[in-house]
Amino acid sequence: MKTFVMLILFNTILVTGQTKQDTTIVDYFTDNGFSNAVATIQHPVGEYYKGVTYVTYQGPLEDPYVAAYSHTSNTWLGPFKAGVSVLGKTSGAKIDNHGKPAMVIDNAGYIHLVFGGHGGLPSHGINPLGDIHNGKQIHVVSKRPQDISSWEVLDNIPPFGTYNQFVKMDNGDIYLFYRHGAHRSNWVHQISTDNGRSFAPPVSVLMTQLRTDKPGINDSWYAWFTKGDGKEIIAAYNYHLCREDSATHNGERHNGYYMVMDTDDHVWRNVKGEKLTVPVTKEHADNMTLVVNTGDLWTVLGTASLDQSGNPHVTFNIGEHMGLRHGGPKQVNHYRWTGQNWIGGVSTALPIAVGDMLISSPTEVSLLLAHKDAGSGEVAWWHSMDGGLSFTKGEVLISRDNTSFMITSMIRNAHPDARVIAAGNDKSNAGNYRKLYLLGDNGPVKRLKTEADNLVD
């Protein structure tokens, strides 16, 4: 913590030493979030640790950046560049956006990021668990505990990953989940029992395979992992019908699934406690872990959580195909396991949105969603008092005209004043850059404009 305080003091001296200090306060903490700077699937993007909220995001040239907010002194530090991504370095190339960073803090206080992957490159060799596409999955760690100013690479994970996700258990074990390559790749986990200094080899969880009934079609997945009760890890996922023909390949995804792993024996089970065969295939998932069969409707992965009775809640965004590459607008659908069956779905009448959830009791469910309302972009709570059968709109944390927001999943151990990061896309942005907001129950955490404006010559 001493390093953080010293750097805060140093920054304060620099500001107050100016001949004319600008004391303008803004509600964003930086303006250098780049393109799709944050998402829910790469997570967590931050952690509240010993009075400080640490956050990470995709910055200029698709590199990872880190900032920190002290809740005790109401001061900001950073952002600092924490590493160099292989992505974003080719002039004129399409922005990849798959290498956004995920963060975890180990039991010794060191901050870890994994970033930069979209399947790996031919130069990285043969991917034993899938195919390759772009980028390189990279692991960095802070050189000192709780210090975001300097970083080093730990060469201890494969280069082939994407959609990196950390899950830290109560005993300090760190699980890294990711898709081991591009679309036609297994989803895997690796475990570290030494504060991220080494990881066991990848273990496949979800299986990709070529369909025998439909030539040129591969089974693929999008998945979201998080800590459950005690020693359990829970997972929500959906199915991607992956076409080998690049001319017809699109974002077609269907259905919603749920399962849970006991980290004592690393056995996966379905919601009924029945043991699963892993890696899970499409047929096995349909028979054992299905939450909702969406039929011809397309879906996008949401998030998952447990209520105080240990029953899971999951969200999936579901909508019509509409002839678009990624389908069409998709409405948030919430489902809850009662102990006997899944209930919920379209009757909840939630908006077209993205976000995460906070569960106060088995019947009190709150979704924090980014969506459009009458032309304005906003991040707002939606509350249910009947276990998700109906929702009503609640508190609005931020609203902007002519703006769209993307938000993250919940920050790990989140302080009520700092639950998620939101990226705002509006006409005041410079090119592909986005203003980033740290949002909590009292709205955005504010900052001096001179500190938040990082796009300067």
Which residue numbers are catalytic?
98, 163
Contact between 260 and 234 (Cβ < 8 Å): yes
HSE, side-chain direction, 13 A CA sphere, residue 159: 17
**CB contact at 8 A, 100 and 85:** no
Contact present, 258 and 234 (Cβ < 8 Å): yes
Alpha carbons 79 and 35: distance in angstroms, whole number: 17
Q: Indicate the pairing of strand 290-292 with strand 404-407.
A: unpaired
Report how far residue 298's alpha carbon sits from residue 301's, in angstroms, rounded to the nearest whole number: 10
203/199 Cα distance (integer angstroms):
11
Distance between CA atoms of residues 240 and 221, nearest Å: 5
Closest CA to 388 of 334, 438, 447: 334
Residues forming beta bridges with residue 58, ordered by sequence position: 64
| Three-class secondary structure assignment of 131-175 | CCCEEEEEEEEECCCCCCCCEEECCCCCCCCEEEEEEECCCCCEE
- What letter would DSSP give residue 452? H
Torsion of CA 100, 197, 4, 46, to 10 degrees: 30
DSSP letter at 379? Answer: E
DSSP-derived letter for residue 399 is E
